Structure 1
Amino acid sequence: MHQLKHEDWKDTKMTLHLLSQILGKVRLEMAEQQPQWAHVTLPLTPGGFSTGRLYHNESCFSIELNVLQHKIIVTCEGERAIIPLKDGTTIQSYYRQLAAALEQFGCPVSIFTKPQEMTYVTPFESCTDVFTYDPELAVAGFRLFQHAERELTAFLAPLRTRKVMPALFWGTFDVSGLIVSDQYEPFPEDKVIEKGAFDEQFVEFGFWTGDEQVNEPTYFVLPYPFLFQELTSGTLEPEDAWYDASLSEAFYRGSDVQTFLTSSFKLMAEELGWEKTDHIFRPLSMPPQKNRR
């Protein structure tokens, strides 16, 4: 599933990343706030990424970046606006069309238009650079996220604990979920994003498609508070998984994802001093689902 590397689709990925930021910033302004910025993530749909249901006064609306259909779909109270995804279209054009659709439906949203957590920082309304959109590569890239979301959901769903289910974090453009403890742990520096994200102990489980420095798609597990030291509680599994103390993260690129996620969580929880984690993995008292494959 990890045959597509960063260099193979980096230009199309940049387009999708910037478009996801527009959707994410709308969600940031309109969704009810949740800890760890969980309200700003974009849930995966069968075709792409979505803001989910949002409310503007009495109107309910949503925006979907549908990669399989190669279009942005704005829906509001039974009406729809379609914005095609085309090679060579500027981010400025996408942004203006999206803003016009929301205005037409009576749901105008004012957002901070500068991209966040990216090296590219041109505001959307000023972004006249020509961007690539390769339909086949866009679909192949989305399939990576889709596969990862299924793996992460399979791990997190049955666990008896407080959690944030997997969705797209549009700042870093990764699909991630969290197991959150009840231990308050405020971030020590005065940084807006970090203060909102890091104020309780948690373990994050995610999938990232790489960048200019790391060409391979990779699963990762990150504890907070950060450890920045070697693990002392046991050995990470599978054998080809590894831990980087300088990043306080565990990484894996193989196919035995469930073993990696389980092993990483148990090690990180022990390193953080979490107690009574055995209950988290107690099997659910439910009959098996006959139709799942």
Structure 2
Amino acid sequence: MPLAEWRDTKETIHRFAQVVGKIRLAASPRRNHWWNVPFHLTGRGITTRPMGQVDGTRIFTIDFDFVDHQLVVTTVEGRTVAFSLLGQSVASFHRLTLEALVALGVDVEIAHPRPFDLPDAARPFAEDVEHAAYDPVWANRYWQVLSQVALVLEEFAAGFSGKVSAVHHFWHTFDLACTRFSGKHVDQPPQVDRVAREAYSREVISFGFWFGDAGSDKPAFYSYTAPEPADLTHEPLTPAAAEWIPRAGSHLAVLPYDDVRGQADPKGTVLAFYESAYLAGARRAGWDIDALACPHGITDPCLTATRP
């Protein structure tokens, strides 16, 4: 997924996702660490999951179909409105999405109908005719890569018995992530914004994948520990291509996607990378690694990893 070859499509899809993500934010009950707002993977794209029943809103779901390249809005009664993603600007996508909700009798209001934490954050979705690139080949490949990485993250998540998030596709940062928690409370400085305050109210080690951004144009697997313990970057990472890089005042463990694709065992390489990053953060932060272990997704010592 070389970023330079699909950057225009990525920037458009990212803003499409923010339109729908803000609807999800408005129509779902609040969950710790904003777990109510990300997308999840489906067999054809990404989904909001069912939402509604907030202030009497009917139950509905919004799905991106990256096989037939449609946005599909469906109510619990089975009524559906869909439109093509091809040829849409952010402005027309925003308008058609709201029209679909009205046609289905869904009453949702986006509190701030503009991008969040993007360079054009001051421009309303309804006025963005600049972002209109949509290459269906790259859109489909984006979903395929997400699907592959999500399954690797699911397998990695199985090795931890403590509090752990689902595998989330965040429309804010446009990454795929899964997070482990120690349970330790973190006192955030007063100047920290409310999004970050909730996201990092507990000590975490997070693992994920992003497609590249303004800071780095290479898609990569990553991990970080927050708050970052002292001397974290002294810990070794696996494989040799992985490294610690500075980012936003802390450090990321990073393994380039292209280096993984060239390995004889790509999945095993990513799992080993995530495990090395986890052990680095857990050791430095003083987590009880043995007590939190969950080999093969099993917590009962009388069971084995064999299938029934």
TM-score for both structures, normalised by structure 2? 0.87
Distance 1:268 1:11 in 2: 35
| 1:241-260 map, 5 Å | 241-245=242-246, 247-253=250-256, 254=260, 255=266, 256-260=269-273
User: Following TM superposition, by how much is the alpha carbon of 1:200 offset from its aligned partner in structure 2, in angstroms?
Assistant: 0.4
AA partner of residue 224 (structure 1): A
User: Following TM superposition, by how much is the alpha carbon of 1:50 offset from its aligned partner in structure 2, in angstroms?
Assistant: 0.9
- 2:155 aligns with 154
| 1:51-62 map, 5 Å | 51-56=48-53, 57=56, 59-62=58-61
The structure 2 residue matched to 1:270, chosen from 271, 276, 283, is 283
Is 1:132 the counterpart of 2:133? The answer is yes
Q: Unaligned stretches of 5+ in structure 2?
A: 261-265
- 1:223 aligns with 225
The structure 2 residue matched to 1:34, chosen from 31, 56, 71, is 31
Q: Secondary structure at the match of 1:250?
A: strand
Is 1:113 the counterpart of 2:110? The answer is no
| 1:1-293 map, 5 Å | 4-56=1-53, 57=56, 59-76=58-75, 77-87=77-87, 89-111=88-110, 112-121=112-121, 122-188=123-189, 189-227=191-229, 229-232=231-234, 234-245=235-246, 247-253=250-256, 254=260, 255=266, 256-283=269-296, 284=298, 285=303, 288-289=306-307
Change beyond 3 A, Cα 1:251–1:130: closer
Distance 1:289 1:229 in 2: 41
Q: Unaligned stretches of 5+ in structure 1?
A: none
User: Following TM superposition, by how much is the alpha carbon of 1:7 offset from its aligned partner in structure 2, in angstroms?
Assistant: 0.5
Contact 2:21 2:38 in 1 (8 A): yes
Contact 1:36 1:197 in 2 (8 A): yes
Q: Secondary structure at the match of 1:231?
A: helix
Query: Between the two proteins, what is the percent identity of the paired residues?
Result: 24
| Count of paired positions | 285
Distance 2:145 2:250 in 1: 24
Q: Secondary structure at the match of 1:100?
A: helix
Deviations 1:135-175 (A, max 9, x none): 11111122221111111111003421211011211111000
Deviations 1:266-292 (A, max 9, x none): 1101111212444423441355348xx
Distance 2:105 2:304 in 1: 45
- 2:263 aligns with none
Distance 2:187 2:125 in 1: 32
AA partner of residue 251 (structure 2): S
